Structure 1
Amino acid sequence: MTAEQFNSSDYLPQGFYPWPDLINPHVEQMGRDMDSWIDNDYTFLTEKQREIYKKMRLHRCTARMWPDLTYEQAIPCNRFMLQYVALDDQAEHLSLEEIQQLRTRCTDILRGAEPAPEENALYHHMAMIRDEFHAFMPDLWMERFIYYFYQSFRYGIELEFPYKIAHRPPSLNLFKTIREYSVLMRPYLILGEIESGLILPQHIFEHIVVQKMISHMTLVVAWQNDIHSLPKEMAKGTEVFNLIFVLQQEYNLSLEDACAEALRIHNEELKNLMDLHKEYREFGEYQEYIDKFVYYAGVGLQGVNTFYLETNRYKHGGVGFAWPEDHSANKSL
């Protein structure tokens, strides 16, 4: 199988997961909002990059993942979708020290610091996201969101760095550990608590079964992402943090066999999530909270898969991706 013959929908078609495939009724307005932010606020990007981000239609990922949000609730979620994706993309060529500074500054802003006038939209929108979430979510949830944002950078993006610089992947075992965080999905998953209106108490959220289910959910999206993004990453030629590439190295597999094994690993992750949720029913008065949490997270898993099939972001040849254009431009981050 050649790269041109690969079609991710052969592995993960629309409707693959056991949850409804839905879309938020405010999707069109969400799209107008995001285009306005890109045009008017994200001016640190080049005109070409801004056009590419608009063509990705990232607002549809927000709308697919959280179809039951009100429009007011959707605004910070949609804002975070663009902010987080652009943050990750445009940090691609930064040094480790610069990435650490980026993580520290964004975390500080989420905790209450104000961005300076000369700082770009990534920082100003982070402050807006903070204030918009604070308007309707309790402090407990905000701390959870901030911690998951921090985790994804500290133990995902930063731990990937030396392998990306060396252009070699780690072992499969270590890769799986890092990939759970570098897929950047953890802060997105808990947005489902906004939809349900049921905020997990901390002692329930910290329960080992809940944390294990979150781990499974996150890895389902990681393997989903690695399958759908393969055409873009093959075009880059230097990407190493993809399950399919790691499997090829670890077991000396052909592309076709590595894709089949990646799907098997994905399906096993999904089954482990479903089995764990079905078997452990010991949350007492909070069982409804857990069931809603898993349901809304599941709708999110279904929704992001549908988005991958719709977006230009992962097109063959990498033509739909907003590659960082030069390192000096990224200094503005």
Structure 2
Amino acid sequence: MTPEAINPRDFLPLNYYPWPNLVNPHLEQMGRDMESWIDNDYTFLTPEQITKYKKMRLHACTACMWPDLTYEQTIPCNRFMLQYVVLDDQLEDLSLEEKQQQRARCMEILNGAPPLPEENAIYQHLALLRDEFRAFMPEIWMKRFIRYFYLTFRYGIEIEHSYKAANQPPPSFAVYKAIREYAVLMYPYLVLGEIESGLVLPDHIVDHCVIQRMMTLMVRIIVWQNDIHSLPKELAKGTEVFNVVFVLQRQYGLSLEDACKETLRIHNEDLEELLTIHREYREFGEYQEHVDKFVYYFGLGVQGVNTFYVQETERYLPGGKGFAWPEKTALNNNRMTT
């Protein structure tokens, strides 16, 4: 199989998962909101990047993943979708020290600091979504969301930096799994399902060994899914090593096609383990309904993000032509000022 022949839809087609495929009824207004933010607030981006982010239709990812949110609830979720995607994309080529500085500043703002007037939309919107979430979510949830943001930035974006910056060969599959769980940046998105359910899990339930295992599996399913769908884009870069297909190719001497098939097998194995654990372990007492809804709304998210990949976005077009690659003019502003 040649890179040009790879079609992620052959591995993960529409409606692949055992959960409903739904879309938020506020999809069109969410799109208008996001286009307005891109045009009027994300002014540090180049014109080409602005065009590409619009074509990505990231608001559709929000709408497909969280179909039951009210319009008020969609605003910070949609704002976060754009904010974290742009942040991750545009920090790609910065030094580790610069990434650490960005993380420290983001944490200050999430914990209450006001953004400076000269800081751009990355920070301005982080403060906005922080306040919007606080308007309708309890403090226990806010602390969880902020903690997961920290973990994914600190142990995802920063840890994978050395592999990307030095153009190192891919890590072993064992090491890759450990790092990629955070580098996919899914943990803070995962808890947005608690907004939909209206049932916030208490800390002692979240810390339960079964919940922790299910959350690991949830995030890993998204890892394998993302790696399959992003493969055509990453093959174009030529220097990308943080994709499980490349890891499996190198470690086991697999062809591109066989590595894709093995990725799908691993994905299906994790999915089956998640479903089995949820089906068989029913020992959460009064919190069983909370747990069931947590898993259900995660499932809607998994189905929804696959729908987004398959039919909504140009982000992962073959050859990388739909991706907003970092550009010098934008990176110069990534301190991050307007």
TM-score range, shorter chain: over 0.9
1:83/1:122 contact within 8 Å kept: yes
Once the 2 structures are TM-superposed, how far is the Cα of residue 326 of structure 1 from its aligned partner? 1.7
TM alignment of 1:40-55, pairs within 5 A: 40-55=40-55
Once the 2 structures are TM-superposed, how far is the Cα of residue 332 of structure 1 from its aligned partner? 3.3
1:265 paired residue number = 266
1:332 paired residue number = 335
2:197/2:293 contact within 8 Å kept: yes
Once the 2 structures are TM-superposed, how far is the Cα of residue 279 of structure 1 from its aligned partner? 1.3
1:65/1:303 contact within 8 Å kept: yes
TM alignment of 1:228-243, pairs within 5 A: 228-243=229-244
TM alignment of 1:185-264, pairs within 5 A: 185-264=186-265
TM alignment of 1:1-333, pairs within 5 A: 1-167=1-167, 168-310=169-311, 311-326=313-328, 328-333=331-336
1:94/1:330 contact within 8 Å kept: no
Q: Per-residue displacement from partner, 1:209-253 (whole Å, max 9, x unpaired)?
A: 111101000000000000000000000000000000000010011
Q: Equivalent residue of 1:229, what SS?
A: helix
2:93/2:165 contact within 8 Å kept: no
2:20/2:300 contact within 8 Å kept: yes
Once the 2 structures are TM-superposed, how far is the Cα of residue 330 of structure 1 from its aligned partner? 4.9
Q: Equivalent residue of 1:34, what SS?
A: helix
Once the 2 structures are TM-superposed, how far is the Cα of residue 165 of structure 1 from its aligned partner? 1.8
Q: Equivalent residue of 1:128, what SS?
A: helix
How many percent identity over aligned positions?
68
Instruction: Give the distance between the partners of 1:37 and 1:330, measured in 2 at CA.
Output: 17
Q: Equivalent residue of 1:112, what SS?
A: coil
Q: 1:40 to 1:245 in 2, by over 3 A?
A: same
Aligned partner letter, 2:18: P
Q: Per-residue displacement from partner, 1:272-316 (whole Å, max 9, x unpaired)?
A: 111111111100010000000000000000000110112100000
Instruction: Give the distance between the partners of 2:171 and 2:153, measured in 1 at CA.
Output: 18
Once the 2 structures are TM-superposed, how far is the Cα of residue 14 of structure 1 from its aligned partner? 0.6
Aligned partner letter, 1:35: E
Instruction: Give the distance between the partners of 1:211 and 1:326, measured in 2 at CA.
Output: 40
Aligned partner letter, 1:110: L
Q: Per-residue displacement from partner, 1:154-181 (whole Å, max 9, x unpaired)?
A: 1111110111123221111000000000
Once the 2 structures are TM-superposed, how far is the Cα of residue 71 of structure 1 from its aligned partner? 0.1
Aligned partner letter, 1:317: G
Structure 1, unpaired ranges of 5+: none
Instruction: Give the distance between the partners of 1:26 and 1:51, measured in 2 at CA.
Output: 22
Instruction: Give the distance between the partners of 2:61 and 2:218, measured in 1 at CA.
Output: 17
Superposition misfits of 4+ residues, deviation over 4 angstroms: none
Once the 2 structures are TM-superposed, how far is the Cα of residue 86 of structure 1 from its aligned partner? 0.2
Structure 2, unpaired ranges of 5+: none
2:217/2:271 contact within 8 Å kept: yes
Q: Equivalent residue of 2:60, what SS?
A: helix
1:55/1:312 contact within 8 Å kept: yes
Once the 2 structures are TM-superposed, how far is the Cα of residue 331 of structure 1 from its aligned partner? 3.6
Instruction: Give the distance between the partners of 1:16 and 1:330, measured in 2 at CA.
Output: 41
Aligned partner letter, 2:293: K
1:44/1:332 contact within 8 Å kept: no
CA RMSD for the aligned pairs?
0.8
Instruction: Give the distance between the partners of 2:98 and 2:108, measured in 1 at CA.
Output: 15
Q: How many residues align?
A: 333
Instruction: Give the distance between the partners of 2:333 and 2:218, measured in 1 at CA.
Output: 32
Q: Equivalent residue of 2:160, what SS?
A: helix
